Structure 1
Amino acid sequence: MTKSTSSKLSRRQALILGSSALAAPMLSLQTRPLWAQETTRVALTLPWVANGSNYWPMLGKEMGIYADNGIDVEVSRGFGSVAAAQAVANDQFDFGVVFASGNMLAQARGLDLMVLGTVNYDATMGIATLADSPIATPKDLEGKTLGMVPTSAEAPFFPAFAAAAGIDTDKVDIVQVDSKVIERALLDGQVDAITAIGSSSIPNIVAAGADLRFMLWSEYGVEQYAAQICTRRETYEANPDLCQKVVDATLQSFAYTLKNPEESINEFARIVPEVGLTANGLPSAKISQGIAQLVAIRPEAIENALGYSDLEKIPGMMQGVLDLGTIENPVVPPLEQLITNEFVGNVTLSAEEWDAVRSANAEYAQYFG
């Protein structure tokens, strides 16, 4: 799917050229400007529709970050991490930004998928309740109604959370709810609580003017990484230089949003005008971005580099996926054929920059607990 094409000027390069063109000497026909490098065309899929938690590849494309790394990227929306992982493995896309559970399901099904880096370290699976709810602990779910979208990313992991938290699921009235109205069911009191992905549901609930509490399943040992950069194993083996360029560009794009959250989210609203068409669109995107950035502040990234994966955690996460029982006769390759850190290390934040990220997103920690 990849092919070479001549690079267009990034916006930054165009500004530089425009401001200095009159003063610059005439270039001979034999002189090639530094920015006229060959680029490789790459198709990349997001895990879902572009939102505040995943838009940074789009921003990187718009700002010329990918072009500066020799990549002409086409960014497409996804239809869930499981589908996105399969689409990459089936050569519909060259690379993907996919939640870890989607990657692991694909790998356990025998699809040759390789993870090149981890961007966020908590999928924010959990239980959402309204702030005035009597449900203050997981055990309090017993005797209550719990809304759940059966096909959601978190639903298959609920039994593991229930077991870890000591919940008798026979005493929980689980109500199947359509994904389009899951938050509304909670807001209208049709259910007492819902299972949810925090980065998706919390912004919708807060934007509706409600206060909430959110119980993270990771605090009970049900841990899954969130966004990861993936590609086919054949691409990893045959073209490591391309993998390096895509990883660098993607992480540089994310780093820009970490350092410039307000400017970045406003630029997202410009790139995707639909974000600003509703009164709650931009505020919801800001909350979604804030939560995604909050769960990027982890020792993996701080002590190593953006994109770093703790390989010792991966077998446990994979076992959690296998325990779902949704895969017949799973075959899991050795760890070194599933994930690597070899392309990570070029994009880092200083201690002062991490402090600034922590301060900028401190307000979003209020939703968890």
Structure 2
Amino acid sequence: MTEPLPVSSISTLVSTARQQPLRAALWHATAAIALAWTGLTAAHAQTTPIKFVLDWKLQGVHAWYYLAQERGYFAQEKIALQIDTGDGSANTVTKVMAGSYQAGFGDINAIIQNAATRPAGTVPVMVYMIYNRAPFAIMTKASGPIKTLKDLEGRNIGSPAGGAAMKMFPALADKNGIDAGKVRWTNMAPNLQEQMLRRDQVDASAVFSVTSYLNLVAQQVDPDKDIRWFHYADHGIELYGNGVLVSPQLIKDKPQVVAGLVRAIHKGLRDAAQDPDAAIDALARQEPLINKVIEKRRLQYALRQVIVTPETQRAGVGDVQDARLQRAIAQVAEAFELPRQPVAGEVFDRRFLPPLADRQLTLK
């Protein structure tokens, strides 16, 4: 016959049995916390930080980036976007090329110039064209002596040192029989372009129309009545303008991030076109000192003048027409005496565009 267990041993067994469910529950809870932490860490690790540089100080034409950011479009693509202001759309290309930024809002014509003179794989690539019609223009007083482009010979034109309109003036001159050597240039701070023209310190200014048009409005000048405009696009220049460009390294290493970046920006632009007030409110939260009325008008001016065009109504915002782009490349190459003409595929890559049906903008 088996000898009965002591009372003390029975108490120990009962206590141990009672603790088993508690230990199991604690183990499962600890495991769940560990798995959750691992999941959060993995999600954080999948987020890609991107440094993005604009072409200029904050204006209405930048509102869609901040609207996209506020509405979580970059976060949905697992992109942590840092947006910095710039100092010229041509300089945006230089900054991305130098590695200071991985992406930016800059000028495709500056990409063309660099692609013609630098090794393959070292120059940024445009992946989403925003300014279908380049906003380059020469502006002068309507009451002044410059009635035609030819009248610019012997005159003094103002421009910021990094201004894309100045850099592209040789193409305009070549197309219209202007002796560019007879034109004098005065470099000035960007915010003085309109003022120096009004004070007759320069005879004309090479400008971004979307910037200067509304700057004149803010200075109580009627840009339609008091200013004579020579838009490059109206004088034989088929150039595209600003868009989203990225480094070739980002395309190589993280093509899915490039596609996500384009999707998010496009959603922001789409929303800004449909609700400009919301877009300008998002911009104002970044820069409370902006004139919201002026910047809304600037946004709408850009949408109607350089973003939504007959071409984009057919091909959708963001894309280009290859034949036109190749003609534009030829114009740039001839004007700047480039050693070669890059092919369209070297400067623009449409692989990351959303479907055509998603790229039709509706203006409010």
TM-score relative to the length of structure 2: 0.76
| Partner deviation per Cα, 1:161-186 (whole Å, 9 max, x = no partner) | 2343344667x764525134221122
Matched, 1:115 2:123: no
How far did residue 333 of structure 1 move? Answer: 4.8
Q: Residues 349 and 97 of structure 1: is their aligned pair in 2 closer, same or farther, counting only changes over 3 Å? A: same
How far did residue 246 of structure 1 move? Answer: 0.8
Distance 1:131 1:101 in 2: 29
What's 2:114 paired with? 106
8 Å contact kept, 1:120–1:228: yes
Secondary structure of 1:121's counterpart equals: coil
Distance 1:308 1:175 in 2: 34
Distance 1:199 1:299 in 2: 19
Distance 1:144 1:259 in 2: 43
Q: Residues 135 and 337 of structure 1: is their aligned pair in 2 closer, same or farther, counting only changes over 3 Å? A: closer
What's 1:290 paired with? 300
Distance 2:100 2:160 in 1: 27
How many residue pairs were aligned?
318
What's 1:223 paired with? 238
- The residue type paired with residue 75 of structure 2 is A
How far did residue 150 of structure 1 move? Answer: 5.4
Picking from 322, 326, 342, the partner of 2:351 is: 342
Distance 2:359 2:347 in 1: 29
Over the aligned positions, Cα root-mean-square deviation in angstroms equals 3.0
Secondary structure of 1:313's counterpart equals: helix
- The residue type paired with residue 302 of structure 1 is Q
Q: Residues 146 and 102 of structure 1: is their aligned pair in 2 closer, same or farther, counting only changes over 3 Å? A: closer
Gaps of 5+ in 2: 1-31
Name which of structure 1's ranges 206-215 and 173-182 shifts more when overlaid on structure 2: 173-182
| Partner deviation per Cα, 1:38-75 (whole Å, 9 max, x = no partner) | 43222211122222223422221122111122222111
Answer 1 or 2: which has greater helix percent. 2
- The residue type paired with residue 130 of structure 1 is K
How far did residue 213 of structure 1 move? Answer: 3.2
Q: Residues 349 and 258 of structure 1: is their aligned pair in 2 closer, same or farther, counting only changes over 3 Å? A: farther
Matched, 1:208 2:219: yes
8 Å contact kept, 2:90–2:163: no
Distance 1:71 1:316 in 2: 35
Higher Rg: 2
Secondary structure of 2:289's counterpart equals: helix
How far did residue 151 of structure 1 move? Answer: 4.3
How far did residue 290 of structure 1 move? Answer: 2.3
Secondary structure of 2:194's counterpart equals: helix
Q: Residues 230 and 167 of structure 1: is their aligned pair in 2 closer, same or farther, counting only changes over 3 Å? A: closer
Q: Which runs of 4+ in 1 moved over 6 A?
A: 28-33
Distance 1:167 1:122 in 2: 22
Gaps of 5+ in 1: 1-27, 276-280, 361-369
8 Å contact kept, 1:148–1:174: no
Picking from 270, 281, 288, the partner of 1:266 is: 281
8 Å contact kept, 2:104–2:244: yes
Name which of structure 1's ranges 146-155 and 202-211 shifts more when overlaid on structure 2: 146-155
Distance 2:155 2:341 in 1: 38
Q: Residues 150 and 227 of structure 1: is their aligned pair in 2 closer, same or farther, counting only changes over 3 Å? A: closer
Picking from 57, 62, 80, the partner of 2:88 is: 80
Picking from 248, 253, 262, the partner of 1:233 is: 248
